Amino acid sequence: MSGRFALSANAAARVFDRAHQTLVWLAVLVFVLPEPVARGLVVAAMVAVALAATAVALLAEGAPPPSVYPGN
């Protein structure tokens, strides 16, 4: 897909790596925070990160190059 908002495979891989790291930290916060309101905000942030990663997946030009995956 080549378009105005298309992302390169390397850019998409970086976004997915950072989204994964963010989701891990937010999941830790859900279990650590005692306030239900704060946990609700963290869950909302997790949904926002997941939606952003989905948008990147739709805009990516293709799968990440094989060099992104260690061991290949």
Has residue 45 been placed in a domain?
Answer: yes
Pick the residue with more confidence: 57 or 71? 57
Domain that holds residue 29: 9-61
Has residue 66 been placed in a domain?
Answer: no
Model-wide pTM > 0.75: no
Is the CB of residue 7 less than 8 Å from the CB of residue 64?
Answer: no
Please tell me the distance from the alpha carbon of residue 54 to that of residue 18, in angstroms, as a whole number. Answer: 13
**Phi, psi of 7, rounded to the nearest 5 degrees:** -110, 150
Would you mind telling me the total number of residues written for the chain in this entry?
Answer: 72
Residue 15 has pLDDT above 90, yes or no: no
Has residue 28 been placed in a domain?
Answer: yes
Has residue 55 been placed in a domain?
Answer: yes
Residue 8 has pLDDT above 90, yes or no: no
Has residue 72 been placed in a domain?
Answer: no
Q: How many other C-beta atoms are found inside a 10 Å radius of the C-beta of residue 15?
A: 18
Has residue 42 been placed in a domain?
Answer: yes
Residues 6+ apart with CB under 8 A from 8: 60, 61
Has residue 69 been placed in a domain?
Answer: no
Has residue 4 been placed in a domain?
Answer: no
